[in-house]
């Protein structure tokens, strides 16, 4: 692979480790990881990403990183050559999501940050993957590396995000949507909504995969992304 730089935008409680298989496969290509640790708004994260990014790049975003990516597309659409949205959604939180997130904040306030990732595991992984020591170890390790204070900033950013659906039609670059059919956080309906609204989008659904396709189905996810990025380089 050669060509445009790639900027990776990670989800909440995740680090650059979540992209380890892809970065290994892409070798010496210019791959950068956006910093989502310092801001408590999605707008702030997007501004930081754009400041650090090269003039034009491919944007590959996961979960919370997808919220950031949609803000990037509103602010600087001409800088992004291609957009990948993995296990994400365009809506703002509803009451149930807000209540769940407030429950996480309450755990942190009670000094029980370690319990946050345990509460999330059933949503991250399908039942058949919840005894996978490598996956659970990676999720717990990345949560620990993120830490409680950064987690709280990320929670505030997510809870305060806007509904991105009205701006999806203005995303004119090729867009690749990837979702695992065992994802407990996003839904098929949310993917269909984005697929219909983004003019030049396609959807790939991975069987037996949860919220972390980059690790759960590393080979399949890497192959999808690599072929898609290679199309931009052709």
Q: How far apart are CA 224 and CA 231, in angstroms?
A: 11
Domains annotated for the chain, with CATH where assigned, are 6-93+155-233 (3.40.50.1820)
> Please, what is the angle between helix 133-146 and helix 113-124, to 10°?
140
**What band does 234 get if pLDDT is binned at 50, 70 and 90?**
low
Supply the pTM of this predicted model: 0.96
For residue 123, count other CB atoms closer than 10 A to its CB.
13
90-137 pLDDT, tens digit per residue, is 999 999 999 999 999 999 999 999 999 999 999 999 999 999 999 999
7-19 pLDDT, tens digit per residue, is 999 999 999 999 9
Residues 6+ apart with CB under 8 A from 168: 70, 90, 194, 197, 198
Residues 175 and 200: beta-carbon distance below 8 Å:
yes
């Amino acid at each position: 692979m050669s060509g445009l730089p790639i900027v990776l935008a990670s989800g909440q409680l995740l680090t650059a480790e979540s992209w380890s298989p892809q970065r290994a496969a892409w070798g010496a290509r210019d791959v950068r990881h956006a910093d989502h640790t310092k801001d408590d708004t999605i707008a702030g994260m997007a501004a930081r990403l754009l400041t650090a990014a090269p003039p034009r790049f491919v944007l590959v975003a996961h979960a919370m990183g997808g919220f950031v990516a949609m803000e990037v597309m509103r602010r600087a659409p001409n800088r992004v050559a291609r957009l990948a949205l993995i296990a994400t959604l365009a809506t703002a939180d509803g009451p149930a999501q807000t209540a769940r997130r407030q429950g996480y904040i309450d755990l942190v306030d009670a000094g029980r940050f370690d319990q946050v990732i345990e509460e999330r595991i059933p949503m991250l992984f399908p039942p058949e993957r919840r005894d996978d020591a490598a996956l659970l170890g990676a999720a717990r390790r990345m949560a620990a590396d993120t830490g409680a204070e950064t987690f709280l900033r990320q929670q505030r950013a997510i809870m305060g995000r806007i509904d991105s659906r009205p701006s999806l039609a203005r995303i004119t670059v090729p867009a690749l949507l990837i979702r695992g059919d065992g994802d407990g956080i996003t839904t098929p309906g949310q993917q269909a909504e984005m697929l219909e609204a983004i003019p030049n989008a396609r959807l790939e659904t991975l069987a037996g995969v949860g919220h972390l396709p980059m690790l759960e189905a590393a080979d399949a996810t890497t192959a999808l992304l690599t072929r898609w990025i290679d199309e931009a380089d052709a």
